[in-house]
């Protein structure tokens, strides 16, 4: 795998591109969220990051402060509405505004669709859709609508057509893609942009912890550019979208996946018994 060279923060953007802005990144202690918090801070934004575990948050804050940035960390489970309120309280207490919200926290497990229990389905949708909406609503109402400005990002998946083993997760991400589109119709009048970013498979600790090397090799083979993504491939895009250069982009999904969405699931469709797909050979044809 050829993803080992991290990119410097803020790639080609000016180092003061986000100066004066405040960004809230959920799940900002690790992986894509951490890279995004670093990129936004390297562009001059003050950053608030939250997640359940305090340790990764503290480490990310140290890196941000080493860049000369300001970072507030908050240990919170965003599935709890009271935690969402507390995160927004803390961000507003610390910096007085929130200009950019990156709804990055998310997670799932891989399982055949028919084996996903109602509780497992709910756990994934509760985080990816309900908690994301709760945070978005709170930030919009308290920080963005009153100032008539803001940018909200949602994280989806590529490929976008469906992914075997991810029925719950891929459908949840389709919901947030639609949310980005729908909110742009309602919130452009408040100067709020809503954009969905759909990463392909990105080499993060989260991926290492939850998927096998075989999964990764298979995914790598399905990427036309021939490598998995780096967290910085995603964070650089978000930093651009949050900048003035991105100010005409809203209500859409931007895919960052090395071309994977152009190829689809990237492996043969699962075997299906012939008689189930050919009406003439159905065993029940004469006896429906
Ligand atoms: C080729 C191109 C392709 C390309 C393919 C691209 C692949 C996409 C790549 C994406 C990569 C990433 O996102 S990498 C980032 C990954 N990070 C993660 O995914 C984090 C790991 N996941 C989690 O934290 C959790 O699983 C999460 C889903 C959020 C649920 O958290 P909870 O604390 O609520 O979980 P629990 O309370 O333990 O369980 C809640 C319910 O879920 C069920 N559940 C939990 N784990 C389960 C499991 N492994 N299998 C079945 N069921 C499970 C439990 O039985 C419960 O159901 P009941 O018993 O019925 O109540
Ligand atoms: N890596 C990939 O290939 C892809 C990832 N994605 C998505 O991008 C996002 C980031 O993924 P990645 O960086 O790889 O993975 P990580 O597992 O590193 O990131 C997930 C982050 O979300 C936080 N989080 C999870 N649950 C909660 C919660 N209930 N409340 C608050 N924070 C929470 C985690 O912190 P903590 O556990 O401490 O709470 C962690 O920091 C996720 O939504 C993921 O599904 C999308 C496409 C591809």
Residue nearest to atom 45 of ligand 1 (CA): 120
Least confident among 75-84, 175-184, 192-201, 270-279: 270-279
**What's the sign of the alpha-carbon dihedral 103, 108, 114, 115?**
negative
**Does residue 138 have a pLDDT over 80?**
yes
Q: Candidates 51, 125, 266: which one to mutate for ligand 2, based on the most atoms within 8 Å of Cβ?
A: 51
- Ligand closest to Cα of 205 equals 2
| Best probe residue, ligand 2, of 107, 124, 174 (max atoms within 8 Å of C-beta) | 107
Angle between helices 54-66 and 31-42 (to 10 degrees): 30
pLDDT digits (tens, 9 = 90+) for 22-66: 999 999 999 999 999 999 999 999 999 999 999 999 999 999 999
Rounded mean pLDDT, 95-111: 97
> Which residue, 231, 181, 191, 187, is CA-closest to 207?
231
| C-alpha to C-alpha distance for 10 and 106, rounded to whole angstroms | 24
Residues 94, 48 contacting (CB under 8 angstroms): yes
pLDDT value for 14: 87
- Which atom of ligand 2 lies nearest, measured to the CA of 52? 39
Please list, in sequence order, all residues whose beta carbon lies within 8 angstroms of the beta carbon of residue 43, skipping any fewer than 6 positions away.
9, 10, 13, 14, 15, 16, 17, 18, 19, 239, 243
pLDDT value of position 274: 77
Instruction: Reduce the DSSP state of residue 205 to 3 states and report it.
Output: helix
Is the model's pLDDT at 268 over the cut of 80? no
Q: How many CA atoms lie within 13 A of 269 on its CB side?
A: 4
- Strands laid side by side in the 192-199 sheet: 71-75, 46-51, 22-26, 100-103, 150-155, 192-199, 253-256
Record the tokens describing residue 271, joined without a space: 């075997």
pLDDT of residue 5: 59
Ligand 1 atom 35 nearest Cα: 123
Asked if residue 226 has its Cβ within 6 Å of ligand 2, the reply is no
The residue whose CB lies within 8 Å of the most ligand 2 atoms, and thus the one to mutate among 27, 28, 82, 237, is: 27
132 and 81 Cβ atoms separated by less than 8 Å = no
Asked casually if ipTM beats, i.e. exceeds, 0.90, the reply is yes
Kindly report the protein residue whose alpha carbon is nearest to atom 54 of ligand 1.
120
The answer to whether 102 and 26 are in contact (CB under 8 A) is yes
CB 265 within 8 A of CB 161: yes
How far is the CA of 158 from the CAs of 75, 196, 255, 262, 284, in angstroms?
Answer: 29, 11, 7, 9, 38
User: pLDDT exceeding 90 applies to what percent of the chain?
Assistant: 79
Residue 1 has pLDDT above 50, yes or no: no
For residue 44, is it left (φ>0), alpha (ψ between -120 and 50) or beta?
left
For residue 278, what pLDDT is reported?
81
**Which of these, 170, 198, 262, 196, lies nearest to 225 by C-alpha position?**
262
Is the predicted pLDDT of residue 264 greater than 70, yes or no?
no
Instruction: Say what the pLDDT of residue 207 is.
Output: 87
Query: Average pLDDT in the 144-163 region?
Result: 96
The response to whether residue 206 sits with its C-beta less than 6 Å from ligand 2 reads: yes
Instruction: Report in angstroms the alpha-carbon separations of 29 from 24, 128, 186.
Output: 12, 17, 31
Q: What is the pLDDT of residues 201-255, one digit of tens each?
A: 999 998 888 889 998 888 888 899 999 999 999 999 999 999 999 999 999 999 9
CA distance 61 to 66: 8
């Amino acid at each position: 795998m050829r993803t080992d060279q991290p990119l410097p923060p803020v790639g080609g953007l000016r180092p003061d591109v986000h100066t004066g802005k405040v960004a809230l990144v959920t799940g900002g202690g690790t992986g894509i969220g951490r890279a995004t918090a670093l990129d936004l801070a390297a562009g001059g934004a003050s950053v608030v990051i939250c997640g359940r575990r305090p340790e990764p948050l503290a480490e990310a804050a140290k890196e941000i402060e080493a860049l000369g940035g300001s970072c507030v960390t908050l240990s919170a489970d965003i599935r709890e509405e009271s935690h969402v309120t507390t995160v927004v309280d803390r961000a507003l207490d610390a910096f007085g505004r929130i200009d950019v919200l990156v709804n990055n926290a998310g997670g799932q497990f891989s399982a055949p669709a028919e084996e996903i229990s109602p509780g497992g389905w709910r756990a994934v949708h509760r985080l990816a859709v309900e908690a994301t909406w709760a945070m978005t609503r709170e930030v919009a109402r308290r920080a963005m609508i009153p100032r008539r400005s803001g940018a909200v990002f949602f994280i989806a998946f590529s490929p976008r057509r469906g992914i075997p083993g991810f029925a719950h997760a891929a459908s949840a991400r389709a919901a947030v893609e639609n949310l980005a589109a729908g909110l742009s119709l309602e919130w452009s009048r408040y100067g709020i942009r809503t954009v969905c970013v759909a990463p392909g498979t990105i080499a993060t600790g989260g991926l290492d912890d939850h998927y096998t090397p075989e999964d990764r090799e298979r995914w790598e083979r399905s990427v036309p550019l021939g490598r998995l993504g780096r967290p910085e491939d995603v964070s650089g895009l978000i930093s651009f979208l949050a900048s003035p250069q991105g100010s005409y982009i809203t209500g859409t999904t931007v895919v960052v996946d090395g071309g994977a969405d152009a190829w689809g699931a990237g492996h043969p469709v699962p075997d299906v018994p012939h008689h189930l797909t050919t009406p003439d050979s159905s065993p029940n044809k004469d006896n429906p």
